[in-house]
Structure 1
Amino acid sequence: METTEVVLQSSEAVIAHIENHATPGGVILDPEQRRLVEEITAFLHNAATAGHTAKLGQSGYFVYGPPGRGKTWLMTQLFETAPYPAETKRQVHFHDFFRGLQRQLGAKTSTREAIEATLQDLLTGTELFFFDELHVHDPGSAVLLNRLLAAIAEHGIPTLITSNYEPEGLLQEPAFHHVIEPGIKILREHFSVLTLDGGTDYRLQHVSHDAGFASGRWLVVEPGHTPAQTLRAAGLVPPEPEEATTVLEGHRVLRALAARGRQIWFDFADLLQARSVTSDFMELVEDYDQWVLTGVPKLSNTDPASRQRFVTLIDVLVDRDIPLTVCATVPRTELSHTEEPPPDLFRTMSRLALLGDH
C-alpha cells in the first residue's frame, strides 16, 4: 500500500507558521501558547516516528482553560501541521461524537453494540485524533467517553483534547460524578494535562466580522420600538405570517418563522422552548447556513431546559461557523443574569461577544 510522505517541522517552524497564518497581519503567541506549541510539536513528531504512543509513555494532551484562550485555535493548527497524512487525521467536535452514537443506536440492538460501532467508525484508519471542546454533563455521555479514552490508550493513537474543564471538573453532579472517574483516571495516567490561561480572551481581539459566526449581529429592541422595526433598521426584512413553515418533517416537527433558501428564521420560543434536541440543530445546519433568532429574552425568564438548548445551539452554530443574527429584548450583558445558569453558559457568553452590535 502506498503511503504519503510527511515532513517533520521544528517547533519554531510551526510557531512561525501559526503566527503568520493566524490573521492577515499575523499575531505573536504569548509565552503559555509558545510553551504548549513546543511541547506538543515534539510529542507529535516523536509519536509519528514511534508509530505507537505506548512507546512514549503517554497517549496525548488534554488542554483546558477558560473560553477564548486559544485552545481550539492552537490545537487545530497543531493538528493540521502534524506530520501525518491528511487522510489519517480525524477531528471530532463533542456534538458530532454523540450524534454518531445516536445514528448507531438506531441500527444496533444494544447500547454496547452501538458504542463499539461508533468507536470503530471513529478510530479505524486514524493515526491522529483531535477531540475538541470536551464537556460531559450526563452519565450516558460519561460512559461513552470512558470507552473512547480506553480505546485510544489501547490502540496507541496520539490524541489532542480541548476542554473548558480540568478532568476532575467533568460531570460535576455529585450523584453521577463516579461514572466519569474511570475516564479521569485514564486522562491523568495516559495524558499530559495542561492549563492554557494567559488571562486574555482572544475572541475579543483580531475578530473579523466579514464572514462566519462573527459576521452575525446582536440587535436589541429598544423601548418604544417593535421587533419588526428593529429588524428593518438593521436592513433585514421581517417574515410575513404566511411565510411560517415547519421543518424536519417526519422527524421532529419544528415551526420556523420563515425558510428563505439557505436562510432560516426562528422565534426563541418555537425553537428552544419546544422539545428540540442537539441532533435537530445539527440536521438544520446542513440545510441552512444563515440563521436569524428573534424574541430572545433574558434567560431568567425561561425554563432550565430552554437555557440549555440555547447553549447547545450556539455551540453548534459556532462549530459550523454559521452567521447568526439575534433580535433580543435585552443587551448581551444582561442575558445571562439568572440564578440557575446552565452548564457552559460562560462559554456561550464569550462566543456571543463575537457578534456585532449593528
Structure 2
Amino acid sequence: MTGPRATPGAAARLRSAVERSAAQSGIVLDAAQSALLAEVAEAAELWERRADDAPVGVFVHGPAGRGKTRLAAEIFAAIDAPPGAKQRVHFHPFFQELQRRFGARMTARDAIESTVAELLDGARVFFFDELHVHDPGGASLLNRLVAELVARRIPTLLTSNYAPEGLLANPVFHHVVEPSVRLIREHFLVRTLDGGSDYRMVAPAARPERGFGSGRWIAFGARGDAASAARTAGLAPPEPHEPTTVLDGHRALRALAVRRSEATQGVGATAEVWFDFADLLEAPSIAEDYLELAAAFDRWVLVDVPPLSEASREARQRFVGLLDVLVHADAPLTVLARTDRAGLVDISDPPPDLFRTVSRLALLGEGAV
C-alpha cells in the first residue's frame, strides 16, 4: 500500500509531536482526545510500515466543538510524508472544484472522475475535513472518492459531525450514499470524539487578535439600527456613496462597502467588505460565491442580521454555508444583528447543520449595545 515513510516508534513520535504542538498553543488534550490520538497514532504506524492489516483510514465523528478538526490537523501535520504528498481538502472548496469542471462542459461522470483523480494523484496522506452530505449529487461524489481511497489504500483522515449512517439522512435519498457507508465501515476505523464539552462555548482567557474569533457579535435589538450600533462599537458605517457591486455577471452581489488599506510597516494590506444580510443571503448566492469573496476580502461585516425565523428557508441555509467558509478561511467577522445569538437560532424548523453554526458563532466576542 502507499503510505508515509516508515520510522521507528512512529506511534510514540506522532503522539509526542501532537501533544507538544497542543501545549505550545495552550491546549491540554482531554481524555477523549488523548484516547483518539493514541488509536490514530497506532494506525499511522501501521501506515508507515505499509502493514497489510492497516485500516485505510480513520473516520472521526462527533458533536460540534469537540476538537475534531484541530486534533486531526495536528495529526496530519505530524505524519511524515514527502512535500506535496499530503493533501488536505475542506468540503466547500472540493465541491467548488467539481462545479468548475461541470462548467467546462464535462459530463457529471467525467467531472467526478477527473476531480477525484487530480485530487488523489501523488497523494500519500489525505485529510478531508468537515464531511457532510445532504443531497444525492454530493453522495455520488463521495462514493467515487471513498472507493478510490480504498482502491489506492491512501492513508486517510475524515472528520464529520455525522456518523457514516447519518450522512444524507433523508430516507428518500439515503440509499445513494450507502456504498460509501459500507466502504467506510469495512475499511476505516470509525470513532466518536465527544468529551462532553463544546470548547467553542468556553470563553478564552483573552480574545484572539486575528482570525475568525477576533470578530464580534453586536446585537442592537428590534428598536435600534445598525448604523448607530456600528458607531457605538467604534465602527464607521457605510456612507451613501460606498455601495458597490462585487462578482460579475449573473453572480453580481451588492456590497454596502468595500474598503482597502495599503500595507504599512508591520501591518499587511487589508480588504474589508460590508454586506447587508438580505443583499447577500436572500439573493441567490451560492457557496462558490462565498469562497471567491473570502479569497478577496480578509475582513467581513454582516449587517442587519434578523432572527433566522424571519429569513427565508434558502437564506437560512446560505447563512450556515457562509459561516462554514469564513471559519475555514479564518476571516474575522463582525455581525450587527437585530437579536442576540440565542434569538438568532430560536427557530422551529432549523436548516441542516445549524448546530455547527451555533458552535462557531460562540467564538465571536460580545458587543451588545
SS in 2 for 1:255: strand
Q: Mind listing any 5+ residue stretches in structure 2 that lack a counterpart?
A: 261-270
Q: Residues 245-271 of structure 1: CA distance to partner in whole angstroms, max 9, x if unpaired?
A: 011023501000011121000000000
Q: Kindly provide the amino acid, as one letter, of the partner of residue 113 in structure 1.
A: D
1:254 match:
253
SS in 1 for 2:366: coil
Shift of 1:205: 3.8
Shift of 1:11: 3.9
Q: Residues 164-195 of structure 1: CA distance to partner in whole angstroms, max 9, x if unpaired?
A: 00011110111111111111111111111000
Contact 2:43 2:54 in 1 (8 A): no
Please give the alpha-carbon distance, in whole angstroms, between the structure 1 residues aligned to 2:46 and 2:203: 33
User: Which is further off, 341-350 or 225-234?
Assistant: 225-234
Please give the alpha-carbon distance, in whole angstroms, between the structure 2 residues aligned to 1:308 and 1:223: 23
1:63 match:
60
Q: Residues 267-287 of structure 1: CA distance to partner in whole angstroms, max 9, x if unpaired?
A: 000000000000000011111
Q: Residues 119-150 of structure 1: CA distance to partner in whole angstroms, max 9, x if unpaired?
A: 11100010000000000000000000001000
* Change in 2 beyond 3 A, CA 1:167/1:223: closer
Contact 2:14 2:79 in 1 (8 A): no
Please give the alpha-carbon distance, in whole angstroms, between the structure 2 residues aligned to 1:226 and 1:108: 47
Please give the alpha-carbon distance, in whole angstroms, between the structure 2 residues aligned to 1:263 and 1:243: 12
Please give the alpha-carbon distance, in whole angstroms, between the structure 2 residues aligned to 1:278 and 1:152: 26
1:313-328 maps to which residues of 2 (within 5 A)? 313-328=322-337
* Change in 2 beyond 3 A, CA 1:204/1:12: farther
1:126-141 maps to which residues of 2 (within 5 A)? 126-141=123-138
Please give the alpha-carbon distance, in whole angstroms, between the structure 1 residues aligned to 2:9 and 2:344: 45
1:192 match:
189
| RMSD value, Cα | 1.7
Q: Kindly provide the amino acid, as one letter, of the partner of residue 287 in structure 1.
A: A
Q: Kindly provide the amino acid, as one letter, of the partner of residue 236 in structure 2.
A: V
2:313 match:
304
1:88-107 maps to which residues of 2 (within 5 A)? 88-107=85-104
* Change in 2 beyond 3 A, CA 1:26/1:19: farther
2:235 match:
236
User: Which is further off, 162-171 or 81-90?
Assistant: 81-90
Please, what TM-score do these two structures have when normalized by structure 2?
0.91
Report whether the alignment pairs 1:155 with 2:155.
Answer: no
Shift of 1:107: 1.8
Instruction: Give every structure 1 segment of 4 or more consecutive aligned residues whose post-TM-superposition deviation is greater than 6 Å.
Output: none
Contact 2:307 2:344 in 1 (8 A): yes
Shift of 1:8: 5.5
Shift of 1:16: 3.8
Contact 1:212 1:321 in 2 (8 A): yes
Contact 1:44 1:83 in 2 (8 A): no
Please give the alpha-carbon distance, in whole angstroms, between the structure 2 residues aligned to 1:58 and 1:245: 52
